[in-house]
Structure 1
Amino acid sequence: MYELAILARGGVLLTVWALAAGWSRGRLTGCLRREGRQGICRGAWAAPGKEVDWRVRATALQLLRPELVCSHRTAARLHRIELLGEDGGRARPGLLEFTAPASSRSTRSTRGDRNGARNTDRNTDRIHATSFLKDRDWSVRRGLRTTTPARTVGDLIRSCGNREEAVVAADSALTRRAVGGVRRDPLVRYEELAAELAAPRPGGPRARAWLPLTEAASGSPAESVARLRIRDAGLFPESQPALRAAEGRVLRPDFLFREAGLAVEVEGYAFHGTRRAHDRDVARFNALQTCPEIRRVLRFTAREVFAAPDRMTATIRAALTL
């Protein structure tokens, strides 16, 4: 009979592994208590002192149910795709989402909601049952079976509740970004997203209508939403144009109304982070005003973009008439 520590994988122990190794249920229960192991979900235990975060829970659930594939917002976290909630307050960080074949045990043994998603062992976790999950739709990412970036964004756009959420996710995947302190290259091309959304699936027509609103040059979720709000107001600036400051370096303002010489900058909540980053931002702001194309710069915070978009667009419109 093996010790429990030997049976565990990555700090996760399944009850079925211990029973298969010869442990009786009574002896196993006593040992789990004495060692101080933590329950992750039914049938899965974490090592004493191990932080049971979302990745540990996802690992345990995939060990218990090999048919589960991380998808939607969970896959977005693994791929470092930014979502609207990261700037707009709508994300649910504790939520785990998976996709599984509709005929699998996981989808048969759990109760679905109106959107076809089903609860797992925790009320906050969901399983999306589908008949459209092929081997090419997923790979292993950071140790977890995860939908590919194209499939992840496609799922998010097809299932999300509004245009802003869809465009924010797509913009992030299309763009080179620094997310969570990690720089990454673009995850998907526009053509790949178009091909993913061409499949006849629920939510497809609406998703295909939103896809042309994406912009690969967008730099943050707040900037994506600002662009949509500005265009809703009948204003159509350039996004991230390359300008040269007097000192010679190339700068890219978020938006530029070239004829009016007006640049518009949007700052996310976590834009500065440190005093050094704030100093760089001040220097960049000053340098931006030395570009020959620019006569005036407007700056808006993410809070203004999300909470008072009409005021933002009115300020821009007034500046354009000066």
Structure 2
Amino acid sequence: MAAVGSHVSAAAVHGLPWLRGWPDDVHLTVPKTQYRSGTKGLVLHTRPVQPADVVAHGGLRFTSVARTVADVALQGDVRTTVVLADAALRQGLVKRDVHRALGGLPHHRGRALAARSIEFADPRSGSPAESLARVVFWELGLPAPVLQQRFDVGGHRYEVDFWFPEQGVIVEIDGRAKYAQERYRNGRTAAQVIVDEKRRHERLNSVPAVRVIVRLEWRDLWDLDALSLRLRTAGLPSRARPVRSARDLTT
């Protein structure tokens, strides 16, 4: 099998998000006989690719979405994997196809964490920020939240990003896009969006089961000490816990 674009390069072609900004390097998967180390601007991988895991794009060949997610998962970065896999699932990817693309045996190095990361993925996370937040919440030892919980308030129906029913806490991820980009404003001005968000917040606060609403931004998800303190203040049992083992990663 000749060289194919893979990993982050394939993710870009498939329109999938990348967590830490797009690198300049091109990633290719090649037969072991073609492997060369230390090539500037080119990162080579040698895990064998089956013909069924190759797709054409613009006259070039890339790994399929399932194989791309599997390759990234095998690199061991749970955050990046979940952000990628959530988006791929929203596009229609089926988890069993990713597990097939993982290959190997369950006890192979890195495969257990990769498989658990894929199982953790959930298409209900509506953005990369929500996907990252779910992993961060797990890292901090929070209970598993309900995703996209619906609340009916005064004739209005709202879906919240994260709902912790035992603690009565809603967590919302605020992005600037909802105010700055027309596709999210639905014909409204930025000022109208702000007013609508304020009314939404007030109505959700009126729900008897809701005790606290926490609003987070992308930048809040990177300072775990500050975030942990803020969530504990809101009543969530949070503690700093780095990712150590796939064994505890559950949905």
Structure 1 position 95 matched with structure 2 position 25: yes
- The 2-side partners of 1:129 and 1:246 are apart by 58
Q: CA deviation at 1:154?
A: 0.3
Q: CA deviation at 1:73?
A: 0.5
1:16 matched residue in structure 2: none
1:243 matched residue in structure 2: 151
1:152 matched residue in structure 2: 68
- The 2-side partners of 1:269 and 1:83 are apart by 18
Please tell me the residue identity of whatever aligns with 2:98.
L
The alignment partner of 2:134 has SS state of helix
Q: Do the aligned partners of residues 238 and 85 (structure 1) sit closer, same or farther apart at CA in structure 2, a change above 3 Å counting?
A: same
Structure 1 position 286 matched with structure 2 position 199: yes
The one of 211, 217, 221 equivalent to 2:128 is: 221
The one of 98, 113, 121 equivalent to 1:193 is: 98
- The 2-side partners of 1:283 and 1:297 are apart by 16
Please tell me the residue identity of whatever aligns with 1:73.
V
Please tell me the residue identity of whatever aligns with 1:112.
S
| TM-score when normalising by structure 1 | 0.61
The alignment partner of 1:206 has SS state of helix
The alignment partner of 2:74 has SS state of helix
Aligned length: 224
Q: CA deviation at 1:143?
A: 4.2
Please, which runs of 5 or more residues in structure 2 have no aligned partner? Answer: 237-251
Higher relative contact order (CA 8 A, sep 6+): 2
Please, which runs of 5 or more residues in structure 1 have no aligned partner? Answer: 1-65, 114-118, 176-185
Q: CA deviation at 1:285?
A: 4.9
The alignment partner of 1:241 has SS state of strand
Please tell me the residue identity of whatever aligns with 1:133.
V
- The 1-side partners of 2:195 and 2:28 are apart by 43
Q: CA deviation at 1:273?
A: 2.8
Conserved? CA contact 2:133–2:221, under 8 Å: yes
The alignment partner of 1:75 has SS state of helix
Q: CA deviation at 1:202?
A: 5.7
Q: Do the aligned partners of residues 128 and 241 (structure 1) sit closer, same or farther apart at CA in structure 2, a change above 3 Å counting?
A: same
2:242 matched residue in structure 1: none
- The 1-side partners of 2:28 and 2:156 are apart by 49
Q: CA deviation at 1:140?
A: 1.4
Structure 1 position 254 matched with structure 2 position 161: yes
Conserved? CA contact 1:198–1:208, under 8 Å: no
- The 1-side partners of 2:228 and 2:20 are apart by 22
1:274 matched residue in structure 2: 181
Q: Do the aligned partners of residues 204 and 245 (structure 1) sit closer, same or farther apart at CA in structure 2, a change above 3 Å counting?
A: same
- The 2-side partners of 1:242 and 1:253 are apart by 7
Conserved? CA contact 1:289–1:295, under 8 Å: no
- The 2-side partners of 1:295 and 1:289 are apart by 12
Conserved? CA contact 2:53–2:67, under 8 Å: yes
What whole-Å deviation, never above 9, does each CA across 1:49-102 have from its counterpart, x for those lacking one? Answer: xxxxxxxxxxxxxxxxx922111001101111112114xxxx41x221111222
Q: Supply the RMSD in Å over aligned alpha carbons.
A: 2.7
1:182 matched residue in structure 2: none
- The 1-side partners of 2:230 and 2:127 are apart by 21
Q: Do the aligned partners of residues 269 and 288 (structure 1) sit closer, same or farther apart at CA in structure 2, a change above 3 Å counting?
A: closer
Taking every aligned residue pair, what percent have the same amino acid on both sides?
27
The alignment partner of 1:313 has SS state of helix
Conserved? CA contact 2:95–2:119, under 8 Å: no
